[in-house]
Amino acid sequence: DGGITQSPKYLFRKEGQNVTLSCEQNLNHDAMYWYRQDPGQGLRLIYYSQIVNDFQKGDIAEGYSVSREKKESFPLTVTSAQKNPTAFYLCASSILSGGDAEAFFGQGTRLTVV
């Protein structure tokens, strides 16, 4: 079955540590996205990538880093520089478009900093 897989579902991290969230898709999509959701807020865009080895900052990129070495994979690293990393993180993908292609989402990763 084609889809987009995020792992792990729940993640706990100690303050000051970097952590990497995995996102893999087998939909052959060129574009991939990372969003963050906080309670009472919508989805805020962290980073997005239209093609391998290229990515753009979204609206809240500070404290995060990404890589796009393979078409199928778009891992997100939450660094110790992120002031408030506890949140729900969603990954999405779509065919390459100017913005009119439907996005497909993973199940999300809930990150808690302890």
Partner 1 sequence: ILNVEQSPQSLHVQEGDSTNFTCSFPSSNFYALHWYRWETAKSPEALFVMTLNGDEKKKGRISATLNTKEGYSYLYIKGSQPEDSATYLCAPGGNAGGTSYGKLTFGQGTILTVHP
Determine the Cα angle at 33 with ends 27 and 36, to 5°: 130
Q: Based on DSSP, count helices (H) and strands (E) in the chain, helices before strands.
A: 0, 11
50 binds partner 1, rule: CB under 8 A? yes
Give the footprint of partner 1 on residues 29-48 (CB under 8 A).
31, 33, 35, 40-45, 48
* Cβ partners under 8 Å of residue 40, min gap 6: none
Q: How far is the CB of 15 from partner 1 (least distance, A)?
A: 27
Residue 21 or residue 92: which is nearer to partner 1 going by CB?
Answer: 92
| Tally of CB atoms within 10 A around 108 | 16
For partner 1, the binding residue among 17, 18, 26, 59 (CB under 8 A) is: 59
CA 7 distance to own-chain centroid:
11
Give the residues lining the site for partner 1 (CB under 8 A).
Answer: 31, 33, 35, 40-45, 48, 50, 56, 58-59, 90, 92, 94, 96-108
